[in-house]
Structure 1
Amino acid sequence: MSLLWVVGSSITTYFIHQLHASHASVMTENVATTREAWAMQDALWRLQAVIVEAPGKEARESQIEAAELEALFERHLLAAEQSCFTSQERTVAKAIREHFAVYRDHIRQRLQPPGLADLLLTKAAEKEKTIRLARAVAEPCRQLLELNERLLNEATSRSARLGGSFYLIRLAFLIAGPIIGVLCGLLIARSMRRSISQISVTLKGATGELNHELGSVEVRAAGELPELHRLAQVVTDRIRHVMTELEEARRQAMSAERLAAVGELAAGIAHELRNPLTSIKLLVQTTARQLTRHSFDDQDLQVAQREIARMETTIQGLLDFARPPRLRRVTHDVRNTVQRALNLVEGRAKQQRVTIVTELPDAPVVVDGDPEQIHQVLVNLLLNGVEAMPDGGRLQLAIHSHDGYPASCRITVSDEGSGIPPQTLVRIFEPFVTSKESGTGLGLAISRRIADEHGGTLLAVNREEGGAMFTLELPLNAADTASCPVARE
């Protein structure tokens, strides 16, 4: 409110100043015009005196004096015209100029050499005409003088009235400002007290919630700033305590998750190693019970070798998962890596009557990556697809480009098997998660990590027409992107 009062006072003062300046300008112009009107009348009567005294002087002397007075009258008339600001003043000034032009022509004829004027008019008629023309000029000069005196009086009266009005306005501001300020201060104080009470109630509620978990806190009547500060401090301390406990609980939960992961890993390892060890143990026990103590036959040796190879595969998978090999990036054509993986899986696919259909682009598909690790991912995806169709089927592999930033290539492997169970699909890339009866469940986890290390992705979905589809996306080499017109999706 104080600000509004200051702004109102400033605006009022500004307008008062502007009005006074405007009135001062008007009054200055009126005074100037009045002064010029007096000066024109003086010059006119002096010029008239020169004309009257002309017969007793030399013609040349009268002409020079008359010319000087004419020029003086013209200067005062021009100054009066410049200071006129109303249409009435400009009309009167125009009449003065017109009458003076006629008067000037007449007196110039009067001041011609002796004898010529006598031929034009008689001396009495000539004098009468000169007086009449002088009065014709003097009359608008008098009108201009009276008009400016009237305008000056009006401006003075108006200025006095406005000055009195603005004085009353400023006086009203001076009286009303403090009163309004006090009233607004009371309203603001009342509003602040209500807000403090509301905040105090909220803080009490929050304190009560915290007390439910952390113990009781004494809260006295609310409504004052010191009490509000105390409540805020109590809530702050309690929140800090809660955050400390939450952080401790989070650390304990993470520790429990790590222990659970280790337990799951141990259970997976135990499961994968127990089965082949059980088979070998049974063979050894059976042989030990034979009285002849004969050695293993060929079939027993094949079983033992197969189970030992299975354990080696499990252990190697664990080593690859726990200690991944170092990434060796090489700029290469991924089509060659795909072809090597197809050649490796082709024999296994024929055994299960699986037909592999490929869709490869004609132009190179250049990527920056480790060819061996990408080869490992592709072999794993192809073998999974073949094993998903024990009764045969069609396995599709295609390479497509993806327009984006950065540009990438997508390698899709699709089978016609039974698909992935929904409960397994959401965890398919976790260690020891598999939908196959035999398998470590580490292949897809390792493949996902390899894709991530290459700046790409590995996704799995079930197809609407049946079967599963895995998509490996790898970024293209930036320098060769423009020269890779691969098949578009």
Structure 2
Amino acid sequence: MVSLMKKKKHNEEWSIYDLDLLSFERILKKASLGLGQTLFLLDTEGNFLTSPPPDRPPFCKYVLDHKEGSFRCRESLYKGHKRVMEEGKSSIFSCHAGMVKVTAPVWVESRIVAVLNGCTSQLLDDGSPFPQKKFRQAILDLAIPQKIIEGIHTVSKEEVSKTMELLVAMAKLIAETSAENLRTLQQIDEATRHIKRQNEKLITLYDLNQILQSPLSLDEKLFVILTSLTAPQGFGFSRAMLLLLNENMTHLEGKMGVGPSTQEEALMTKKKRPAKDERSLFEKIRKQGIPIETGNSPFDELTRSFSFPTREKKKFPVAALFEKGPVVVANRGEQKNRVHPDLRKTMGNTTSFVAIPLIENETLIGVIIADNRFSRKKIEKDTLQMLSIFSHQAATAISNSKLYSVLQEKIFQLVDSNRQLHKAHTRLMQMERFSVMGTVAAGVAHEIKNPLNAIVIYLELLKKELEKETPEKEKIAEKLNVVGQEIERLSDMTTEFLSYSNVPHLVTTPIDIRILLNQVLRFIRYQAKEKNVIIRKEFSKSIPDIPVSHKQMKQVFLNIILNAIQAMPKGGELEISAKTARKRKGFIEIIFSDTGVGIGKEAMVHIFEPFYTTRRGGTGLGLSFVDKVIKEHGGEVGIESAKGKGARVNLFLPIRNPEVEPADRKGGKAQRRYRHEI
């Protein structure tokens, strides 16, 4: 038996294979047992639709099991089948062995879809010698056993006619059942197509949502919205246009149109389209991008020329703004006068079009208009339901795009303002630098004056001593020593002035701050030993590398440690610790704590001012340099001290490069913390 189910091609006429053949087979098997016959269905080409029942009469079973008999049986069956198909009516005839064969066509919708066959193990007695002759020849050719021959009975044509009537009735029953099944199949097919169309539109809405969430320009979003209306994977409209309200809400202006203007353009577009493209709208746009080519089309140019006054509230397209959802607008008859003449002209001979209002949070945005001018398809109700969802998505996307454009413009303005502010800040820094350099110059003149005066005086005394007939070597050596000390003092001053005034542009590299601290400590260990200062250090094992200027930060640590050593003339302890700051996320904390003479309350107020010092011979630039460099790194300096109780210097340095200018944090200069203990 051939397969009971054949897959029907698209638009192909239905066949018996579309029906439930298994149920027919079960019915025919039961009927075969009741009638003592072998009942089965053949299709129009003679193929088995149902299998003959396995419990056949002995004669039939013997003949079919015999190779020659089986061949003759099939040949006889096909001849009878051909006669029924040609004559279109039921028939009684004898097979190659003289047995009775009854056939009846199954008519459905004015055509034969199958043939019902009935085979018996009875010899036909229709008054002709042919059945008996066929029977005797079959006995000889197939060597049929006597026992099987004895079971053969003769039946008259009248008796067979009753069987024929029963077979015809069964054929009619099968035909009626087939017709009912066909109607059910057609309903299912229509429902399936409807669900498929709805599913395709839902997929389009999902794709549209995905695409519109991408960072696209307003024109790109408008193109995607209109394309989803006209694409075969979408709503499949012939054309679509989008109109938006202007800023003053006085006119509804055309922004973009997608689709052909004429039938010729529509045919060309259809030819260019791939014959079979099962990709979704999202997949196509993701691979091909969004080619906004509408600007060259006549339909787009026509759409952009539209400008409808909003005061004409009773005429479409303005009237569509005040609809609660998509509405089909007639372009003829009584509603003809409700459509604006320019729009009516564009619609041409289109009988109707759909107008989709775009509203976001009760704010009117615009209108989308779509038609089926060239496809002539009817706009169905379920399409309107889908368009309601579509309109909300489109309105939200357009509204967000407009807000994004405004935000982008504000960002550009902010960037420009920031650029101008940066220029002003740079000029201010230059002016501040010139001011500082003026202060430095005044300080240099003042500080250098005393050593130079001392050098001049001692050189004059040395000259007088050398003019004597017997100069005293001890006095010469003493005066030379004083001159040398003052020159060394001048050299130290010059070094400090240069290090303060020549802080280069900050260039940082990530380093382990513990390694840098250890380098500085090795450098000053002899000075600390001479002053009887014991240095203790406690560095955390989990400090990340931080971006700093190696040279500048080394000078910062030197200045702080040397200040601490000089504050302990009789010896003492200096504790240095480094760890990740607990209270300040994203910073590390370095603490220098000494047991020196401390800093008085009055001095704490001026501690970071250039040239302010309480130490004889000091320049007052050490801590000022520290403060300046730490600020450049986006960090913070804190000092806690009291007279006679030592001092504690806290440095906070960011783990990452600061995002703002270090000299301008939190709207002002980098913060500095002071605490004075009484």
TM-score by length of 2: 0.31
Larger RCO of the pair (alpha carbons < 8 Å, separation 6+):
1
The structure in which a higher percent of residues are helix is 1
The structure in which a higher percent of residues are strand is 2
TM-score by length of 1: 0.42
Which structure would you say has the larger Rg? 1
